[in-house]
Chain A
């Protein structure tokens, strides 16, 4: 296996996949979260402001999902094949919700009738929630391990994806994104809506703290393989400790009205949660609940060194470019939302 800086290509690509999904969770996380709390805004103007706060960027954020799917497909085709065919039903619901969400945002503003707008508001919010929950549920199942055989083929039944742990992960993801989205909206709003959002930030933060605590206890008690690495390497305790500090910092920054700092803290929380996932799963990507030997690992599930090398080159050229114009787009639309004739 070829290496770069002493790390083999498969592991590099594992990091790329992890980073892409983290990027996706941070970016699309806030617009999904904004969608999930959308129905808490009652006035038409508030809803329009909330939509236009994500208007210019949500589409670009969703690109990270496509890139994430692509990096997994390209780097770990066996994992891609195993996980996607195993969770057929949740992925189909996810896709349909994703379609509804996109068209709700797009179609809502096209007609002025109140029933039309209300319909798309509901569709937008529910589909945002379904997208988030299904991602969380799939992640929860992957964390638990799947009944996959020697060939990486799923041997469970259709509805096995519904189990307490996966649902808890789903709810925690929802709470996390709602908090993240609320903080983003606070940054982008003023006056009454802003005041309302500071309350929503507080409530969603509480919701997140409760669900993440429940999830942690459940994991420690019933899913021991997900805390094994941290128990063996006590220095890794800095991850949960930093997470607690970051959550505390959100509250502090909100009270100081320094929203950008609060938003960064919530992005840090998301990153740390996903880093925890990576730390605990590594070197596996998917655990087989049938036999340890069937685990899909960074080594046995990855593409060839040649292919990974090509893609690392692609990423090395492409990612800085994407970063530059993403920064440009966010800079263009910085500041509080102002509605104009081209707004949603």
Chain B
């Protein structure tokens, strides 16, 4: 295989792996802010236990997120040197802002969040939790801004010719608020809220199934469900707005997302299907005119099809784009259904009796994860063959000095390390969940908790 495909595989693999963790940190951080906020308001130690329990899980996730994130930054230089030279002038300020305004905030206060319980007051600790969460959200802003600039470049001009050509910034705010930034940030944030809140829900549901730490689990479930419910509905709008921006600024991507080949007709939206790339046709179940309506608010408005683009300017992996996009949307609706049913039953105080539903919720943690992953696949494979849309082709962005063997070496290394890392992550996460929070939990039947019983146990052991 050549350097290009190897480097693309390496980048896709390392970023997909990395992208498991930051959304979890953001979403879990937000849930922890609510938990600790409840602790400060009510003084209920259950909330203190809850915050501490999830802090330990947060530390695990955050550690892997940072370590794998540094890899991404360095990969720009190692594997994509031409790209780095091309975008450095523009991209750099976003990356610098991320480091200084976001990452430093988050990592600085992380120490206080993890180790500061006995060192600072409750209020200061709460502020540290908020700062870490804000830091991780700011981080997302700048990274998504940088990526959005690749999707819909703005606020730059091109200087130099051929090999020497590069983008130079002309307007910082136009770069930051490029046409897709705001909608994509909201979309990514909400995706992160879903990832984190469903982790809380999943762990709580697991405890309820196992009849362990019940009081703890029910309260945590309530907090997770609230965040998840609001987020799943908000995502409907954020997702739609993102798609709308794609339709306007990256028509070839939208056409690939929907398997739409001919521009002329009223465009259908597929519920599911597959693309026959050879005959340039899409098969599946579609709602006629829906795509036209969603992009132009008219059922017969023409939507630009793939055939309107030169073959070399179309995304090649059409089925990846199409399927990723449709899986994401299907999951989005599934989450809305799930949180709505969950909320109605919660209000009727019947939720925790429905064991089958608790099983569904215990596994539900995978859904936002999958949606986040395929969402990125859609965004990134749909952008091809451009690394900077309409300006720089992916095939031109490589490091000239790097050989296929070197990339194979690093790819093997990362595959090995990340597989190990993932296995350890799951192992430790499971151990933490099995260990559970430290308890003052009154309806926890699996442990001795009353002073009387403890006294008896003490007598027996003597």
Contact = CB atoms under 8 A, between A and B. Distances in A.
B74 interface: yes
Contacts of A101: 67
Contact of B100 (A88, A318, A333): A318
A63 B413 contact: no
A19 B100 CA distance: 14
B115 A91 contact: no
A103 B119 contact: no
A72 to B, nearest CB: 8
Contacts of A336: none
Contact of A325 (B60, B103, B108): B108
Interface string A213-249: 0000000000000000000000000000000000000
A307 to B, nearest CB: 5
Residue of B73, B88, B403, B432 ringed by the most chain A CB atoms within 10 A: B88
Contacts of B60: 106, 110
A74 B95 contact: yes
A75 interface: yes
Interface string A68-92: 0111011111101111111011011
A35 to B, nearest CB: 14
A102 B61 CA distance: 11
B462 to A, nearest CB: 26
Interface string B17-54: 00000000000000000000000000000000000100
Contact of B67 (A74, A82, A103, A342): A103
Contacts of B417: 96, 99-100
B35 to A, nearest CB: 16
A80 B67 contact: no
Interface stretch (A152-160, A167-175, A194-202, A271-279): A152-160
A342 B111 CA distance: 11
B84 interface: yes
Contacts, number: 242
A111 interface: yes
A322 B78 contact: no
B67 A99 contact: yes
Nearest to A80: B77
Given A74-B92, A153-B401, A325-B105, A310 B111 contact: no
B96 A89 contact: no
B104 A69 contact: no
B110 interface: yes
A336 B63 CA distance: 25
Interface string B111-148: 11011111110000000000100000000000000000
Contacts of A106: 59-60, 63-64
A332 interface: yes
B1 interface: no
Residue of B70, B413, B438 ringed by the most chain A CB atoms within 10 A: B70
A154 B401 contact: yes
Contacts of A92: 78, 409-410, 413
Interface stretch (A1-9, A54-62, A184-192, A280-288): A54-62
Contacts of A304: 89, 168-169
A315 interface: yes
B92 A343 contact: no
B170 A306 contact: yes
A60 B74 contact: no
A326 interface: yes
Contacts of B432: 110
Given A307-B169, A332-B119, A343-B115, A69 B89 contact: no
B400 A66 contact: no
B406 A88 contact: yes
B297 interface: no
Contacts of A78: 85, 88
Contacts of B409: 89, 92
Interface in B405-427: 405-406, 409-410, 413-414, 417, 421, 424
Interface string A315-344: 100110110011011001100000011110
A286 to B, nearest CB: 13
Nearest to B175: A310
B242 interface: no
Interface string B74-96: 10111101101101111111011
B73 A342 contact: no
Contacts of A319: 100
Contacts of A95: 70-71, 74
A74 B93 contact: yes
B110 A59 contact: yes
A249 to B, nearest CB: 29
A287 to B, nearest CB: 17
B96 A329 contact: no
B82 A56 contact: no
A188 to B, nearest CB: 13
Nearest to B94: A74
A155 B403 CA distance: 12
Given A92-B409, A307-B92, 8 more contacts: A73-B92, A80-B76, A80-B88, A82-B81, A84-B84, A99-B67, A307-B168, A314-B96
Interface of A: 52, 55-57, 59-60, 62-63, 65-67, 69-71, 73-78, 80-86, 88-89, 91-92, 94-96, 98-103, 105-107, 110-111, 151-155, 158, 303-304, 306-307, 310-311, 314-315, 318-319, 321-322, 325-326, 328-329, 332-333, 340-343
20 contacts: A57-B111, A59-B63, A66-B69, A73-B95, A77-B87, A78-B85, A84-B84, A89-B406, A95-B74, A102-B66, A107-B428, A111-B428, A111-B431, A315-B100, A321-B105, A322-B108, A325-B131, A329-B111, A332-B116, A332-B120
A-B complex: 9 closest residue pairs judged by Cβ atoms:
A74-B92, A77-B88, A84-B77, A56-B111, A318-B100, A81-B81, A85-B399, A154-B401, A106-B63
Interface of B: 52, 59-60, 63-64, 66-71, 73-74, 76-79, 81-82, 84-85, 87-93, 95-101, 103-105, 107-112, 114-120, 131, 163-164, 166, 168-170, 172, 399-403, 405-406, 409-410, 413-414, 417, 421, 424, 428, 431-432, 438
